[in-house]
Structure 1
């Protein structure tokens, strides 16, 4: 399975493409989209859509895994993250690619074993799991890879269990 992990953000949006299955993963690509800081918000969102679309077209993911936005005291930050999340949904939806959401705690638990891990621990484990020569930088890129790994290891299994449950209910 090929998963595109997206760590949404209007200033920096982390992207990571991973191939694999539960217990095995290999990195295909990693990067960060940086929107022009001096552009109007609408132009930044258009830029983000173009870049995300290019990644989806180039790497043909079977699913897109996005970090679920959580409430914070900084409403402005939450809103811009939500805008970037909407662009990820829109871009994948236009291509017929399913989108799944994973919470930060779920992602941390999947890659480190602890839902309370810090960013440094997540980056170390992503580097180990994917057998990378060096840690992905910046943290947004490592977070995107962690999202993809999380979906490979947890989301795919959850989807199989849900399909079995639906089949058994018939």
Structure 2
């Protein structure tokens, strides 16, 4: 059974999402990529509600085994950091409600995993995603590409249990059963739809 990862590049205006299935070796297969948008003219409550609804729909449609989120890092633009942190919290909460393990990666960890350099720029990351995933072109906008890079970083973490949090708790047997049942239901639904 293949491991499925949802990568989330949290943002209040554009929240990137990228879903990958693990392939043989270090291979990966693209399942979905895009962004969930909110209107900057709306109030924060409406914007967070829009992002939450979009993330919920992606999680329910793809039933990921892991949700990987870019870790919020300090920068000078406080409003951007606040929006990013709020969207990160939503992604983590939605995964936790479903018993899906979460992982967090810093931007430099993602750059190093995908390109081999923690100082790579967005064009280098996009070029590597095109090559590694066999894409016809780089995912647009950049938030979508970043989400795929986050998912790929999680796929390449190596063997062993996925960590729920910094305390090192592994997925419980109940969470494993739930994830297996959800994955089976999704694949049965996909098979049924393709026959119609």
TM-score higher than 0.5 here? yes
Gaps of 5+ in 2: 163-168, 170-196
Equivalence for 2:132: 129
CA distance in 1 between counterparts of 2:20 and 2:126 reads 15
Q: CA deviation at 1:37?
A: 2.1
Q: Deviations over 1:103-151 (max 9, x none)?
A: 1111011110111100110011011111001110011000000000000
Residue 144 of structure 1, aligned match among 144, 147, 159: 147
> What is the root-mean-square deviation of aligned Cα atoms in Å?
1.9
Residue 55 of structure 1, aligned match among 48, 55, 58: 58
Q: CA deviation at 1:43?
A: 1.1
Equivalence for 1:103: 106
Equivalence for 2:97: 94
CA distance in 2 between counterparts of 1:50 and 1:6 reads 14
Q: Deviations over 1:33-60 (max 9, x none)?
A: 0112221101111111110000000001
Q: CA deviation at 1:157?
A: 3.3
With normalisation by structure 2, the TM-score equals: 0.78
Residue 153 of structure 1, aligned match among 122, 131, 156: 156
With normalisation by structure 1, the TM-score equals: 0.90
CA distance in 1 between counterparts of 2:149 and 2:78 reads 25
Q: Describe the SS at the equivalent of 1:91.
A: helix
Equivalence for 1:30: 33
Equivalence for 2:173: none
Q: Describe the SS at the equivalent of 2:42.
A: coil
Gaps of 5+ in 1: 161-165
Q: CA deviation at 1:159?
A: 4.0
Equivalence for 2:187: none
CA distance in 1 between counterparts of 2:124 and 2:160 reads 25
Please give the residue correspondences for 1:39-50 in structure 2 after superposition, counting only pairs within 5 Å.
39-50=42-53
